């Protein structure tokens, strides 16, 4: 796998194997330190959360009081959350930030 922007190449395990002009531009680069990062992954009510910060609080602590609001939204049917196929699209003729902020 080669990054289109940097030209850095990785093997199938995500390990850095090649850097263009490595000796000239990064003479002290330790490629083994640039391998894949491990995300901490937790789930809640079928939702998947990933966090790069291994020192961050666990998901239960992070969600805190928001869990009760999530439960209301995610437990609306006895079967639990239902994924509805297809795409939902809204075209709103406005500044792109306005709908997100209001």
Phi-psi region of 45 (alpha: psi -120 to 50; beta: other; left: phi over 0): left
Q: How confident is the model at residue 98 (pLDDT cuts 50, 70, 90)?
A: low
**pLDDT number for residue 46:** 85
- Of 1-5, 66-70, 95-99, the one with minimum mean pLDDT is 95-99
Q: Quick one: CA dihedral 98, 44, 82, 71, positive or negative?
A: negative
Closest by Cα among 19, 36, 15, 38 to 28: 19
82, 74 Cβ separation under 8 angstroms = no
96/70: higher pLDDT: 70
> Tokens 């939902």 sit at which residue?
88
Mean pLDDT over 53-74 rounds to 93
């Amino acid at each position: 796998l080669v990054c289109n922007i940097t030209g850095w190449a990785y093997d199938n395990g995500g390990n850095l194997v090649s850097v263009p002009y490595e000796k000239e531009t990064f003479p002290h680069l330790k490629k083994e330190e640039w391998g894949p990062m491990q995300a901490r992954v937790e789930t809640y009510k079928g939702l998947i959360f990933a966090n790069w910060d291994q020192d961050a609080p666990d998901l239960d602590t992070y969600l805190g009081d928001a869990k009760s609001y999530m439960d209301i939204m995610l437990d609306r049917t006895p079967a639990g959350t239902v994924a509805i196929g297809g795409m939902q699209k809204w075209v709103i003729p406005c500044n792109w930030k306005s709908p997100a902020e209001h």
